[in-house]
């Protein structure tokens, strides 16, 4: 493809994307296509001789691709957590592809690494994270030794693909730290990881990948701790699990706390969790291999974005005890997928666990120790220039712009909650958390909970079938709702173009079908 052709096709595609954004609201949020349909429409082989896709591409996009999409950028997409994109982020993504650099080492593209370091520091500060999670502190040697760790604090942030990668990397680093005193031929102690029963499935999946669980229900090395009536981890139950495990010679090494659970947006109490992890009684029981503190990973994939507004920072109380923290700008900070910001308090703990240097990667900058090589902070070797999109988002909107965006969504959630409270056919089983509202149909007199749950699900199916909105559900169980729990419809407000009229439209539809 010649430069001129690239320009012409590139302009046409940018035009097409801008038009798609303009009209996405008029499309059904979810495609009605059936599994296998699209696949069956593809030829079995790639063309042997290039067949010039360009002439008919726009028509093909309109007639084949768009009708078989779920439109995540639709303003009435309220499912899962939205993955909001924005023009500055998409242009950053395009730049990254155009530059085509691969930033595995500092030397393979210095600004790819250093822009990421700078942007991660911007984000850490914008979110109100302690300065120990910045590269600046590490590079200037400011990172003082923390009270909770024998290891000097010297952190920073890196962009991972997803929160799932972040928790896996955290767990592997935690295991490395926990076993650091072990000789290679020592028998491994029985490691134990803990998270709340409402934590994201990626915690158990990380254990599966790390060899600590053979299948999703294998609980020999992972304990999912019960939650209280607000969906937060029951800290006393966490403490009891850790103490009981230590008493039988097991080695607790990892705790994952969540700021904004996927199901209901519950925010774990970091200060209380941190206090338990450092409690003398908890640490001193059964000492042989317990000289290393238990790693605390904070999964703020969705909720932590709200901390860009100072009024939501109460959730950060106790964050200084965290060893690692993640937040997904690809969920709620206008940065298109994929972009997970992963911060660590001590970068050396990552590199000790993940670094392996074959001859072909050696270079003088790495050998000097002065360069940051992000390959040692993540699972893959290669890495894209993802910092560009976050850099452009932060510069284009500014912190104030992002604050406005988050505040509007939280206000819309409050508005929706008010409408729900005023309609006795519905119940707000839990108070909204940030911009997530969970509602159910109230059980009718004499109706079983199971039947009310079935009506709630049917209501969601009907609303989704209109194509006007897209909602998903969860089953929440906790001390108040009992083991069987209850079906909740989740309304996750977070679309780039979601306004009050879209939330009102959703409510009218749901109220009509109720």
Q: Residue 67: CA atoms inside 13 Å, Cβ hemisphere, count? A: 10
- Residue 274 vs 329, nearer CB to ligand PLP: 329
Q: Does 268 bind ligand PLP (CB under 6 A)?
A: no
| Whether 189 contacts 249, CB under 8 Å | yes
CA dihedral (227, 229, 230, 231) positive or negative: positive
CA dihedral (134, 320, 328, 402) positive or negative: negative
Q: Does 345 bind ligand PLP (CB under 6 A)?
A: no
Q: Which listed range, 3-11, 140-148, 257-265, 400-408, lies at the site for ligand PLP (CB under 6 A)?
A: 257-265
Closest residue to ligand PLP: CB criterion: 162
241 contact partners, CB below 8 Å, separation of at least 6: 192, 194, 223, 225
Among 302, 426, 470, 507, binds ligand PLP (CB under 6 A): 302
Residues 352-381 that bind ligand PLP (CB under 6 A): none
Name the residue among 96, 89, 80, 78 with its Cα closest to residue 21: 89
Q: How far apart are CA 123 and CA 130, in angstroms?
A: 11
Among 202, 223, 264, 440, binds ligand PLP (CB under 6 A): 202
Q: How far apart are CA 386 and CA 388, in angstroms?
A: 5
Q: Which listed range, 160-168, 267-275, 365-373, 394-402, lies at the site for ligand PLP (CB under 6 A)?
A: 160-168
Q: How far apart are CA 225 and CA 193, in angstroms?
A: 10
Among 30, 71, 135, 200, binds ligand PLP (CB under 6 A): 200
Strand 156-160 relative to strand 222-225, pairing: unpaired
Number of chain residues interacting with ligand PLP (CB under 6 A): 16
- Residue 250 vs 383, nearer CB to ligand PLP: 383
Residues 101-130 that bind ligand PLP (CB under 6 A): none
Kindly state the helix (H) or strand (E) to which residue 272 belongs, with its residue range: helix 270-277
- Residue 154 vs 308, nearer CB to ligand PLP: 308
Q: Does 163 bind ligand PLP (CB under 6 A)?
A: yes
Among 108, 113, 258, 435, binds ligand PLP (CB under 6 A): 258
Q: How far apart are CA 81 and CA 433, in angstroms?
A: 13
Q: How far apart are CA 182 and CA 505, in angstroms?
A: 60
Q: Does 435 bind ligand PLP (CB under 6 A)?
A: no
Among 245, 299, 323, 376, binds ligand PLP (CB under 6 A): 299
| Whether 386 contacts 338, CB under 8 Å | yes
- CB of 300: closest distance to ligand PLP in angstroms? 8
> Rounded to whole angstroms, what are the CA distances from 260 to 49, 73, 244, 280, 434?
51, 22, 28, 29, 8
**Residue whose token pair is 């593809």:** 42
Contact letters for ligand PLP, residues 27-66 (x by CB under 6 A):
----------------------------------------
- Residue 81 vs 385, nearer CB to ligand PLP: 81
Interacting residue ranges for ligand PLP, rule: CB under 6 A: 80-81, 162-164, 200, 202, 258, 260-262, 299, 301-302, 328, 340
């Amino acid at each position: 493809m010649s430069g001129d052709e690239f320009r012409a096709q590139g302009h046409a595609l940018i035009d097409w994307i801008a038009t798609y954004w303009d009209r996405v609201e008029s499309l059904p949020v979810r495609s009605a296509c059936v599994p296998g349909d699209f696949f069956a429409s593809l030829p079995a082989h790639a063309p042997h001789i290039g067949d010039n896709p360009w002439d008919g591409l726009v028509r093909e996009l309109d007639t084949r691709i768009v009708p078989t999409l779920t439109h995540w950028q639709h303003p009435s997409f309220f499912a899962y957590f939205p993955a909001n994109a924005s023009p500055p982020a998409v242009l950053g993504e395009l730049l990254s592809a155009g530059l085509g650099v691969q930033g595995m080492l500092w030397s393979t593209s210095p600004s790819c690494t250093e822009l990421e370091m700078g942007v991660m520091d911007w984000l850490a500060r914008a979110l109100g994270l302690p300065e120990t999670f910045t590269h600046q502190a590490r590079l200037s040697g400011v990172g003082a030794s923390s009270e909770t760790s024998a290891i000097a604090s010297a952190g920073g942030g890196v962009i991972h693909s997803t929160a799932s990668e972040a928790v896996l990397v955290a767990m592997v680093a935690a295991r490395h730290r926990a076993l650091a005193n072990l000789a290679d031929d020592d028998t491994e102690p029985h490691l134990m990881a803990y998270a709340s029963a409402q934590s994201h499935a990626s915690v158990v999946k990380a254990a599966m990948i790390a060899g600590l669980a053979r299948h999703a229900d294998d609980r020999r090395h992972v304990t999912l701790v019960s939650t209280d009536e607000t969906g937060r981890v029951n800290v006393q139950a966490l403490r009891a699990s850790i103490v009981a495990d230590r008493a039988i010679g097991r080695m607790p090494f990892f705790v994952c706390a969540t700021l904004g659970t996927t199901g209901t947006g519950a925010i774990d109490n970091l200060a209380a969790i941190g206090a338990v992890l450092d409690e003398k009684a908890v640490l001193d029981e059964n000492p042989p291999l317990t000289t290393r503190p238990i790693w605390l990973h904070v999964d703020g994939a969705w909720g932590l974005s709200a901390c860009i507004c100072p009024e939501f920072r109460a959730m950060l109380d106790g964050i200084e005890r965290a060893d690692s923290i993640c937040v997904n700008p690809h969920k709620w900070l206008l940065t298109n997928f994929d972009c997970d910001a992963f911060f660590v308090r001590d970068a050396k703990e990552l590199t000790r666990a993940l670094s392996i240097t074959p001859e072909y990667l050696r270079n003088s900058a790495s050998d000097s120790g002065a360069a940051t090589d992000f390959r040692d902070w993540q699972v893959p070797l290669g890495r894209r220039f993802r910092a560009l999109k976050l850099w452009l988002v932060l510069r284009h909107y500014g912190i104030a712009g992002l604050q406005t965006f988050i505040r509007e969504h939280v206000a819309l959630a409050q508005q929706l909650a008010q409408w729900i409270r005023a309609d006795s056919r519905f119940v707000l089983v839990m108070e909204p958390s940030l911009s997530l509202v969970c509602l159910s149909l109230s059980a009718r007199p004499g109706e079983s909970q199971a039947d009310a749950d079935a009506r709630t699900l049917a209501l969601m199916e009907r609303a989704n079938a209109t194509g006007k909105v897209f909602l998903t559900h969860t089953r929440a169980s906790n001390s108040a709702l009992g083991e069987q729990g209850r079906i909740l419809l989740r309304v996750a407000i977070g679309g780039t173009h979601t306004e009050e009229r879209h939330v009102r439209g959703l409510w009218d539809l749901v109220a009509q079908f109720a």
